[in-house]
Amino acid sequence: MPSAPAPAGLRRADSWWKSAAIYQLYVRSFADGDGDGIGDLAGARARLPHLAALGIDAIWFNPWYPSPMADAGYDISDYRSIDPVFGTLGDADALIAEAHAHGIRIIIDVVPNHGSDRHPWFAEALAAAPGSAARERFWFRPGRGAAGELPPNNWQSIFGGPAWTRVTEADGSPGEWYLHLFAPEQPDFNWDSPDVRREFEDVLRFWFARGVDGIRIDSAALLCKDPALPDVTGAQPPGPAHPYTDRDEVHAVYQSWRAIADEYSTGVHGAGVHGAGEHGAGEHRERMLIGEVWLPDASRLARYVGPGELHTVFNFPYLNCPWDAAELRRVIDEALALNAPLGAPATWVLSNHDVDRVVSRYGRPDTSFDLERRPYYHSLPVDLALGTRRARAAALLTMALPGSVYLYQGEETGLWEVQDIPDELRQDPIWDRTGGADPGRDGCRVPLPWSGTEPPFGFSPAGAAAEPWLPQPKEWRDLTVFAEWADGDSMLSLYRAALRIRRSVPAFAAMLLSWRQAPDGVLAFDRPASASTADGDAASATTPATVRCVANLSAVPVGLPPHASVLLASGPLADGLLPPDTTAWLQALRAG
Ligand code: NOJ
C-alpha cells in the first residue's frame, strides 16, 4: 500500500459536490504514458498539475477496470482492479492520493446494469445448467418458436439488433438466450438476485475505502426488469409499467447505495488504504453519487435525487437543448424547479463521451441533439467558427448557473467532432451493430492534442511504439493545450479564467439565481451572494457582490445593462454592446 500523502490540498468545504466543476477524464484518450497509443493512469497522473492549474474541483474517470473493451471499458470483467492497458491498482491508489494533494476529488464510473461476457460469473453461468443459481445472476431464458430458435421477447439492443443472444450449452446443443440491453459482450445482471446486490454494495465499499469521493452510475434507470420479460410496445413510456426503464424497484438499490456513501462520508470506516492521516476515523469527507438517468419526464427524474437517494443526476435536457434562448430558459427553469424542493443542486453538462462535441453541434443549422438521430446530425453542414463562438458563449452561460458543472475533456480547448474517421478505424460497437448506419461515438473520443505541430501532438511520448488509437485531425495543431495556454484569447484561457472566477467569487457558491428582463433571444440573470438580494427585479436588489450573466443568443448586438465592470466575456465587446453569440459576466453597480 502507498504511504499516506499529505491531504493538504482538499478544501474541507461541506457538500463540495453541490457547486463543483468536474472534469470528465476519458482515460483512453487523455494522455498516453507508456507509448502504446492508448491513454493510461501514468499519463493522467503526469498531468494532474495541469488539471489543478485549470481550476477544476474533481475528476470523473470513465471505466478503468479490466475489460475486453467491447464497449470501451463499459464491459467490465473485474470491478476491483485496473485494466493492464491503463496501469495497476497501485497506480490508481497513487493517482487518488496525488489528486487529493492537488485539491482534486476523484469520481469513478460504476456499471451495474451489465458486466462483460468475460466476467467470471458469466463463465460460470455458461458452464452451468439452465435454471442454475449461476444463471440466476443474469437473464437466461429459453427461446420462443418450436425449437427455441427465436429470442424470448422483442426487446432491441440500444446499440442496434436484438437484445438477446443464444448460447451453446456445455453439451454443444443450441441453448438458452441471455439478455444484453447493449452489446452481446455486455450481459445484463439480474438485480432480483441477492448475489448481484451484495456484490455491488461490496464494490462500492472497495472503492470508497480506497479514497474515491464519488461514483457515477452508468445506465442507472435500466437495472430492474419486469421478471415476466413481456414484449415492449412502441408507445410505452419509461416508468413503473415499462419492462426495463425506470421501474420503481430501482430506487431500493440506490437507497442502499446512499446509505453506504453516507457511512463513508462520516468516516466511520476508519483509515482506508491511505492511513489515518488522510481518511481517519471520524473525519468528515463527503462521498457522492451521480446517476446517468436519461428520462423525458422531470417528475420521474426527480425520484432519483434527494437525501435518501442519489446526490445528483445528469441534466441531459440541457445538453440536448438547441442554442435558443427561450428553450434554454425553459430547460434551466425546469432543472432548478426539479432540484430545489429536493435540496439537491442542479447539474449542467454540455458534452460527454457519448454525444457529438459541442463546437460541431452549435455550428450546425440544427443545434439540438438527440442520441437516436446522430446520422441526421452528421448529414448537416458544420460552420466551425460559428460553433466555436457559440461554444464559448455556452461555456460562460453554463458555468454561471447554480449547481455543479461537468466539463468533458477537450471541450476546454474547443475540439470538434471528428466526423471523417475512416470506416476501417472506427471502434464504437454502434457502428458495427447498425451496419454503418450510425457513425457512433468515436468522433468525440479522439485522443487529446497536447503540444507540437503534428500527431500524436504530445498525446503519446516521443518514440511511441504505436499511433493514437483513433487518428487525430492535423488541424488540431492549432488546438493543443500548449498553444492555447499561451494565447490569452483561446478557449483554454477562457475556461481557466471562468473556473478561477467561479471558484473565487462568493456569488457563484451561493445557490441563487434571479432572472432579469432581457430582449428576445437574450438570457440575463443575477447570481446574488446572499438570499437578501436574490428576489425581485429591482435594481436596488443588487449589490457589488452580485454577478450578472448576460448571454446574447439573438442575431443582433444588444446593449449591456449598467455595470461596474466586466468580469469576463466570451468574445470582444464593442461600444457597450454584447454581440450575437456572446456571453458576459458583469459586476453589479453599487445600489443607490
Ligand atoms: C452509458 C455510457 O455512457 C456509454 O458510453 C456506454 O456505452 C453505455 N452506458 C453502456 O454501458
Residue 7 has pLDDT above 60, yes or no: no
CB of 182 sitting under 6 A from ligand 1: yes
Average pLDDT over residues 526-548: 71
Strand 522-527 vs strand 514-515: parallel, antiparallel, or unpaired? antiparallel
Cα 317 to ligand 1 centroid, rounded to whole Å: 17
Cell of 3: 504511504
435 Ramachandran zone, left/alpha/beta (phi>0; psi -120 to 50)? left
For residue 282, the model assigns a pLDDT of 46
CA atoms within 13 A on the CB side of 564: 12
For residue 534, the model assigns a pLDDT of 55
What is the pTM (predicted TM-score) of this model?
0.95
Residue 22, beta-bridge partner list: 58, 406
For residue 539, the model assigns a pLDDT of 44
Q: Among 314, 311, 285, which residue's Cα sits nearest to residue 106?
A: 285
Can you say how many angstroms the Cα of residue 567 is from the centroid of all Cα atoms in its chain? 28
Query: Cα dihedral angle (478, 418, 113, 42), rounded to 10 degrees?
Result: -30
Cell of 22: 468536474
User: Who's near 373: CB < 8 A, 6+ residues apart?
Assistant: none
Average pLDDT over residues 63-87: 98
**Backbone angles phi and psi of 175, in degrees to 5:** -120, -140
Please indicate whether residue 432 or residue 537 has the higher confidence score (pLDDT): 432
Write the DSSP symbol of residue 461.
-
56, amino acid identity: I
Using CA of residue 406, residue 71, residue 214, residue 337, what is the dihedral sign? positive
Cα 219 to ligand 1 centroid, rounded to whole Å: 7
- Helix/strand/coil percent split, the chain, to 5: 30, 15, 55
Cα–Cα–Cα angle for 253, 345, 585, rounded to 5 degrees: 150
The best mutation among 26, 62, 67, 71 to test binding of ligand 1, ranked by most ligand atoms within 8 Å of the C-beta, falls on: 71
CB of 219 sitting under 6 A from ligand 1: yes
CB of 278 sitting under 6 A from ligand 1: no
Q: What atom of ligand 1 comes closest to residue 74's alpha carbon?
A: 11
CB of 74 sitting under 6 A from ligand 1: yes
Residue 283 has pLDDT above 60, yes or no: no
CB of 309 sitting under 6 A from ligand 1: no
Q: Give CA–CA dist 273/285, Å, rounded.
A: 15
Q: Give CA–CA dist 17/15, Å, rounded.
A: 5
Can you say how many angstroms the Cα of residue 516 is from the centroid of all Cα atoms in its chain? 30
Whose Cα sits closest to atom 3 in ligand 1?
A: 354
Q: Give CA–CA dist 58/285, Å, rounded.
A: 14
The best mutation among 218, 223, 431, 444 to test binding of ligand 1, ranked by most ligand atoms within 8 Å of the C-beta, falls on: 218
Residue 487 has pLDDT above 60, yes or no: yes
Cα 74 to ligand 1 centroid, rounded to whole Å: 6
CB of 71 sitting under 6 A from ligand 1: yes
Residue 68 vs residues 73, 85, 112, 164, 494: alpha-carbon distances, Å: 7, 11, 17, 20, 38
Cβ proximity of 180 and 156 under 8 Å: no
Whose Cα sits closest to atom 6 in ligand 1?
A: 74
Residue 280 has pLDDT above 70, yes or no: no
Indicate the pLDDT class of residue 535, thresholds 50, 70 and 90. Answer: low
Q: Give the model confidence (pLDDT) of 183-229 as tens digits.
A: 999 999 999 999 999 999 999 999 999 999 999 999 999 999 999 99
Q: What atom of ligand 1 comes closest to residue 113's alpha carbon?
A: 11
Cα 387 to ligand 1 centroid, rounded to whole Å: 26
For residue 170, the model assigns a pLDDT of 87
Name the helix (H) or strand (E) containing 105.
Answer: strand 105-110
Cα 90 to ligand 1 centroid, rounded to whole Å: 26
Q: Lowest mean pLDDT: which of 247-251, 275-279, 434-438?
A: 275-279
CB of 111 sitting under 6 A from ligand 1: yes
Average pLDDT over residues 441-457: 98
For residue 543, the model assigns a pLDDT of 73
CB of 10 sitting under 6 A from ligand 1: no
Q: What atom of ligand 1 comes closest to residue 71's alpha carbon?
A: 7
For residue 343, the model assigns a pLDDT of 85
Whose Cα sits closest to atom 10 in ligand 1?
A: 74
Cα 226 to ligand 1 centroid, rounded to whole Å: 22
Average pLDDT over residues 151-160: 96
Cα 314 to ligand 1 centroid, rounded to whole Å: 14
Write the DSSP symbol of residue 68.
-
Average pLDDT over residues 265-278: 56
Cβ proximity of 175 and 167 under 8 Å: yes
Q: Among 514, 587, 501, which residue's Cα sits nearest to residue 547?
A: 587
Cα 15 to ligand 1 centroid, rounded to whole Å: 27
Q: Give CA–CA dist 198/196, Å, rounded.
A: 6
524 Ramachandran zone, left/alpha/beta (phi>0; psi -120 to 50)? beta
Whose Cα sits closest to atom 2 in ligand 1?
A: 218
Average pLDDT over residues 44-50: 98
The best mutation among 60, 77, 111, 217 to test binding of ligand 1, ranked by most ligand atoms within 8 Å of the C-beta, falls on: 111
Burial of 103 (0-12, 13-18, 19+ CB in 10 A): middle
Residue reference for cell 503540444: 451
**Backbone angles phi and psi of 216, in degrees to 5:** -95, 125
For residue 299, the model assigns a pLDDT of 86
Could you count the other beta carbons within 10 Å of the beta carbon of residue 227? 10
Cα 446 to ligand 1 centroid, rounded to whole Å: 17
**Backbone angles phi and psi of 400, in degrees to 5:** -90, -10
Average pLDDT over residues 77-94: 98
Cα–Cα–Cα angle for 526, 529, 534, rounded to 5 degrees: 55
Whose Cα sits closest to atom 5 in ligand 1?
A: 354
Residue 366 has pLDDT above 70, yes or no: yes
Residue 6 has pLDDT above 70, yes or no: no
User: Who's near 538: CB < 8 A, 6+ residues apart?
Assistant: none
Indicate the pLDDT class of residue 537, thresholds 50, 70 and 90. Answer: very low
Q: Give CA–CA dist 48/33, Å, rounded.
A: 13
User: Who's near 390: CB < 8 A, 6+ residues apart?
Assistant: 323, 362, 363, 367, 581
User: Who's near 265: CB < 8 A, 6+ residues apart?
Assistant: 284, 285, 286, 287
Cell of 157: 439492443
CA atoms within 13 A on the CB side of 400: 30
Q: Among 42, 38, 34, which residue's Cα sits nearest to residue 463?
A: 34
Residue 273 has pLDDT above 60, yes or no: no
Residue 271 has pLDDT above 50, yes or no: no
Average pLDDT over residues 490-519: 95
Cβ proximity of 341 and 377 under 8 Å: no
Q: What are the residue numbers of the active site?
A: 218, 263
For residue 530, the model assigns a pLDDT of 80
- Average pLDDT over the chain reads 93
Indicate the pLDDT class of residue 2, thresholds 50, 70 and 90. Answer: very low
3-state SS class at 367: coil
Q: Give CA–CA dist 535/515, Å, rounded.
A: 9
The best mutation among 219, 222, 352 to test binding of ligand 1, ranked by most ligand atoms within 8 Å of the C-beta, falls on: 219
Tell me the percentage of the chain whose pLDDT exceeds 70. 93
What is the residue-wise DSSP string for 265-331? HTTTTTT-TT-HHHH-TT-----EEEE----S-HHHHHTTBSTTSBSEE--HHHHH--S-HHHHHHH
Cell of 270: 476508519
